[in-house]
A and B are shown apart, each in its own frame.
Chain A
Amino acid sequence: MASILPSRTSPYETGNIPGPQMALSPDKAPTIYAALTKRAKNPLLIVGKYVLEFELDGKLLIDYAIEIARKRDMPIVATAHTLKGFLERNFPAVSMGLVDIVNRLQDPNFTVDPRKPPPHDLVLFLGITYQFASQGLSTLKHFAPHLKTITLCKWYHPNADWSFPNVKNEEWKQLLEAFIKALG
């Protein structure tokens, strides 16, 4: 049977179709996401366990995360046990479980970075277990109208506002590098 949805922008996990509102995945995603990030007043990057496990041509995902954060002086919330990787790299990430940070992000008076006034208006996800991230994004979609979400993973995440399409590692690397470059 033919698939109705195009493979690149259909939910990565085939059955994960939440409803009528699904993420945008534009052709020029890296440029657009970089523009959104630059425009955001208080962006936040949340990373999960894959930042310690995924390598793209010998470069760990955690190093991409740090590069992204440094470009925009953006705080990183290190979920699961990923804090250790940031400490080894002397990056001051904040350790918090995914559900703990998502729970707080529903609150427009919450900010991870005390230097910047709440709320976080843009939240980027990277390297979190697909379905776990999907559920966290769902919470933000429904209950955090004051912020937008972008996922930088290689999977199309329907519950985000903006998502990369489903891509193989080579293309993912290009997308991440283009995004970092566009951040300035």
Chain B
Amino acid sequence: MEIRKGPARFSLKELRTNMIQAKDLEVTIGRLAMEEEWEPQGPTPFPGIKDLRAWDFKFLSRYKPFYAPFCDLCCLCTYGKCDLTAGRRGACGIDIKTQQARIVLLACCIGAATHTAHARHLLEHLLLKYGEDYPINLGPEIECEMPHVRLVCGIKPKTLGDLTYILDYCEEQIVQCLAAVHTGQEGNYLDFESKALHMGMIDHVAMEVADVEQIITYGYPKGDPNAPLTEIGCGCVDVTKPLTLSIGHNVAPSIEIIDYLRKAGLGEPGQAIEVAGLCCTAHDMTRYTNQAKIIGPMSYELRFIRSGIADVIVLDEQCIRTDAVEEAWRVKTPVIAANERACYGLPDLTELPVEAIVNKLVRREIKGAAIFDPEKVGAVAVLTALRMQPLRKKYKAIPDIDQIKQAASPCTFCSKCRRNCPWDLPTDEAVNAAKHGNIEPLAQLYDRCIGCGRCEEACPQHIPVHSLIVAAGERKFKTEKFKVRVGRGPILDTEIREVGAPIVLGEIPGVVAYVGCANWPTPMSDVGRMAYEFARRGYIVTSTGCSAMAIAFYKDEEGRSPYEVFGGGFLRGELSNEGSCVANPHISDACIKIAYIYARRNLRGNYEEIADYILNRVGACGVAWGAMSQKAASIATGFNRIGVPVIVGPQGLKYRRLYLGRVEDEESFKVYDARTGERVFVGPAPEHLVYVAETVEECMVWTAKLCIRPSDTTKGRMIKLTNYVDLYKKFYGKLPEDLPMLVRTEADIPVTFKDEIMEFLKAKGWQPHPMPSIDPTMLERLIRVKRV
């Protein structure tokens, strides 16, 4: 018997030594609680970098990396800067293509590391609070509780303590992949891509850990399709009350704020004190109590800080403006940095008594304090807000409407603000109009502005352009209030049983996930417009993070938010909010569970087979319309590795890499029919794995198209084509040119367009596909009857 490393388990029927005599002895190394044999172990438990490389290369031969260099230089080592333009190599020998892949891997490492560190930090806090034996129980309707962990790691964790081993694995993989980025290490772009895919997969595992640990301990909804509605928007807080504002993603200190309120007899959030949040931590606060308030996505940070409404700001981690402390200081709001990964230069006052810290903050002796004890953060935040509110009187940095003209008066119309705006918004024209007394153009920018503040940085006259936009939109800012569904968490096994078959057969036209950040090319309500349209068409629509918030900002003709119109289930024509960024794997988990529950495929350490299943059968598509962060890069790449295509908005091309198919290369779109072993052309299904759309219209057409799969039945393909053709005709004005590849038999043709499509196909010389119905797979080993 050879044991290379733990964890491992073996049993001895009989052991006799001079000292010991034992029968049926079971020995466990490396872990206290070992796995039960709940399923045969698959080929790749705890995969390392190389273990899924063959699978990656297989699908990268269809979805070839497409690179759009964001910078022609490499400046990562002292040889540089090296000019890699158009085929030149750097001092280390790297070329521009490989360099792009390297940077993509770096982004994915950052994304995966961020979620893993988040999960680890929260886990350590929760282990202290709840103990390592705290059971993982997601309720009676979720038996398959951590599909990604089962699939990737091949284990079934039972307690909070078990999650430690999973994070150990994630951390090791991140270190391995990050090491590959070093100068003179990996040297092939496909291998960099394989590692980026590996990081994407690890990211989904880490996020799953992060979300499950908080669901089970904080009592969040456990997949509740009827999770309550709560309020979102600046207008949902009572500005006459003291207000704590949490920004970030790691909810532990915010939970302690709520707990402290309760312990101190101050009631629920919203009674004596408003407890509000920005970005994902706000989602997670409302999962704890829907009396907490969501101000909005990341794009609302600057405007809300400057509004002066917050009496104390708690920063936890991720997607926080790095000038938050300076901005808060301008409006006399003290800041608490609650996470060692985001200290903001503030003094560590963790060891001081609560009252002493509060005194320092209230007397403005310091701009803020770092406090690395979440419980203490809760107490300090509440007490500081109570004492600051009467002193600050909601002091703000945003001018009143009647001050706008004066503030705009130095404008020379140089247009530098506009040229520094990521979206080329006409800030120059708007400020110049305000200078002449017309603030309407500024007000019109309110919905389009992503709140980055770059316009102000560029202005040689130091005009506070962003503040003027917010001031001009003040009425909207102060009153906007929408309804969002509280993050429900995982998808129920019972829901998968209901929708598994119709998804695989195509009779539910697809699962669309609106995910990601707030770098939106159009008003954020467009995310809601798209979600509304696809829910209305009978797709299963899911959402997370800033996109889940954006959906709430859309109102239908009756003034209802999409969350008020559609149910919150993972069901046909419903719209769910899974929660914060770390709730993303519940969406990929739903795809995995379709393979597990509906198709009865084994999950345990069986990644390749399940990814192959999802790519060929589960018509799911992610949409990250405002993708911005490295986390979004790794999340999307994780979706890709499990077989789910993703569409990003136009800024998404700055991630430098897409995975694009070329359907005219028919060989690359052939799969095996597992029943016969024959190679069959399946058409563009799906055509790409990462695609960029320039407009909402293009995005909607591609969303429908990327839900098409080889496994669709004729009825399913007909339903999917009905949506695709209908959207294409509506926005593009004709029938799509790729119909001959997507229509396999006459029975696939949508009834409503039958005559028109038949005529079109006839003109194109279309012939029915020789094998319209197959059991598709890209894995040779899954062929049941080998051809001789």
In the complex, A58 has a CB within 8 A of chain B: no
A108 at the interface (CB under 8 A from B): no
With A and B bound together, what is the CA distance between A136 and B66 in angstroms? 10
- A18 and B71: CB pair below 8 A? yes
Q: Is the CB of A14 within 8 A of B420?
A: yes
Q: Is the CB of B68 within 8 A of A136?
A: yes
Q: Number of contacting residues on A, CB 8 A?
A: 39
| A81 and B695 contact, Cβ closer than 8 Å, known pairs A88-B733, A103-B660, A142-B96 | yes
Q: How far is the CA of A167 from the CA of B694 in the complex (A)?
A: 23
Chain A 91-113, CB within 8 Å of chain B: the 1/0 string? Answer: 00001011110111000000000
Q: Which residues of B contact A145 (CB under 8 A)?
A: 86-87
Closest Cβ neighbor of B66 among chain A residues: A103
CB contact under 8 A between A139 and B69, given known A19-B83, A83-B733, A99-B660: yes
Given contacts A97-B694, A98-B694, A103-B660, contact A19 B71 (CB under 8 A): yes
A132 in contact with B650 (CB, 8 Å): yes
* A98–B733 touching, CB < 8 Å: no
B775 interfacial contact with A, CB 8 Å: no
A135 on the B face (CB < 8 A): yes
With A14-B458, A141-B85 given, is the CB distance from A19 to B653 under 8 Å?
no
**Residue pair A13, B424 in contact (C-beta under 8 Å):** yes
Q: How would residues 267 to 298 of chain B score, 1 for a CB under 8 Å from any chain A CB and 0 otherwise? A: 00000000000000000000000000000000
Verify A139–B66 contact, CB threshold 8 A.
yes
A23 to B640 alpha-carbon distance, docked (Å): 35
Q: Which residues of chain A have C-beta atoms less than 8 A from B701's C-beta?
A: 81
Residue of B nearest to A139 (CB): B68
Provide the residues of chain A in CB contact with B662, threshold 8 Å. 103-104
> What's the minimum C-beta distance from B320 to chain A, rounded to whole angstroms?
21
Q: Is the CB of B691 within 8 A of A83?
A: no
Please judge, given known A-B contacts A87-B733, A99-B658, whether A19 and B693 are in contact too, CB under 8 Å. no
B72 touching A99, Cβ below 8 Å: no
Q: How long is the Cα–Cα vector from A48 to B27 in the complex, in angstroms?
A: 66
Which of these binds chain B: A30-38, A67-75, A123-131, A170-178? A123-131
Find chain B residues with CB under 8 A from A138 CB. 68-70, 72
CB distance from A182 to the nearest CB of B (A): 28
Q: In the assembly, what is the distance between CA of A98 and CA of B702, in Å?
A: 13
Most buried by A among B67, B70, B694, B702: B694
Which of B695, B697, B731 has the largest count of A CB atoms less than 10 A from its CB?
B695
> Does A39 lie at the interface of the complex (its beta carbon under 8 Å from any beta carbon of B)?
no
- Counting CB contacts under 8 A, is B24 at the interface? no
**What is the size, in residues, of chain B's interface with A at 8 Å between Cβ atoms?**
43
Q: Does B698 contact A (CB under 8 A)?
A: yes
Task: Give the docked Cα–Cα distance between A3 and B691 (Å).
Answer: 36
**Among A20, A48, A84, A88, which residue has its beta carbon within 8 angstroms of that of B731?**
A84
Q: Which residue of B lies closest to A99 (CB)?
A: B692
> Taking the complex as formed, is B521 at the interface, i.e. its CB lies under 8 A from any CB of chain A?
yes
Does any Cβ of A come within 8 Å of B97's Cβ?
A: yes
Report if A79 contacts B (CB, 8 A). Answer: yes
CB–CB B97/A81 < 8 A: no
Complex: A139 Cα to B73 Cα, angstroms: 14
Cβ contact within 8 Å between A135 and B697: no
Contacts of A79 in B (CB 8 A): 694, 698
Point out the residues of chain A lying under 8 angstroms from B654, CB to CB. 131, 135
Q: B772: which A residues are within 8 A, CB to CB?
A: none
Q: Across the interface, do B72 and A81 meet the contact criterion of CB distance under 8 Å? A: no
Instruction: Tell me which residues across on chain A come within 8 A of B737, comparing CB atoms.
Output: 95
A130 to B521, CA, bound (A): 12
- Pairwise interchain contact B419-A14, C-beta atoms closer than 8 A: yes
Q: Which of B67, B72, B424, B653 contacts A20 (CB 8 A)?
A: B72
Q: Which residues of A contact B420 (CB under 8 A)?
A: 13-15
B651 within 8 A of A: yes
In the complex the two chains form, what is the Cα distance from A104 to B64 in whole Å?
Answer: 12
| B734 interface residue per 8 A CB criterion | yes
| Chain B proximity of A135: nearest CB distance (Å) | 4
Q: Tell me which residues across on chain B come within 8 A of A15, comparing CB atoms.
A: 420
Chain B 88-104: CB-based contact to A (< 8 A → 1; otherwise 0): 00000000110000000
In contact, A83 and B70 (Cβ under 8 angstroms) = no
- Tell yes or no: B732 within 8 A of A by CB: yes
Chain A residues with CB under 8 Å of B85's CB are: 19-21, 141-142
Tell which of B96, B420, B698, B701 has the most Cβ of chain A within 10 Å. B698
B691→A49 contact, CB < 8 A: no
The answer to whether B481 has its CB under 8 Å from any CB of chain A is no
Cβ distance B148 to chain A, nearest Cβ, rounded Å: 29
Chain B: which residue is nearest A136 at the CB level? B68
Q: Which residues does chain B contribute within 8 Å of A18, judged by CB atoms?
A: 69-72
Question: In the complex the two chains form, is A142's CB within 8 Å of B691's CB?
Answer: no
Contact B72 A21 (CB under 8 A): yes
* Cβ-based interface call for B441 (8 A): no
Docked CA distance A132–B648 (Å) = 12
Report the bound CA distance from A103 to B737 in whole Å. Answer: 18
Within 8 A of B (CB), among A1-27: 12-15, 18-21
Other-chain residue from B84, B97, B416, B692 in contact with A98 (beta carbon distance below 8 A): B692
A80 close to B (CB within 8 Å) = yes
Please state if A131 and B419 are interface contacts (CB–CB under 8 Å).
Answer: no
Question: Contact at B694–A128, with CB atoms within 8 Å?
Answer: yes
Contact (Cβ within 8 A) B695 A49: yes
CB distance from A108 to the nearest CB of B (A): 14
Interface mask (A27-57 → B, CB under 8 Å = 1, otherwise 0): 0000000000000000000001100000000
Residues of A within 8 A of B67 (CB): 139, 142-143
Ordered by A's residue number, 18 sampled pairs between the chains whose C-beta atoms are within 8 Å are: A13-B419, A19-B84, A21-B86, A80-B694, A81-B731, A84-B731, A95-B732, A99-B653, A99-B660, A103-B66, A103-B662, A131-B651, A135-B68, A141-B86, A142-B85, A143-B86, A143-B97, A166-B419
Q: What residues of chain B have their CB less than 8 Å away from a CB belonging to chain A? A: 66-73, 83-87, 96-97, 416, 419-420, 422, 424, 458, 521, 650-651, 653-654, 658, 660, 662, 691-695, 697-698, 701-702, 731-734, 737
- CB-CB nearest 9 A-B residue pairs: A19-B72, A84-B733, A81-B697, A135-B653, A132-B650, A135-B68, A80-B694, A80-B695, A81-B731
Known: A20-B85, A130-B424. 16 other contacts (CB 8 A): A18-B70, A19-B72, A20-B72, A80-B698, A81-B695, A81-B731, A99-B68, A99-B653, A100-B660, A131-B653, A132-B650, A136-B68, A138-B69, A141-B85, A142-B85, A143-B97
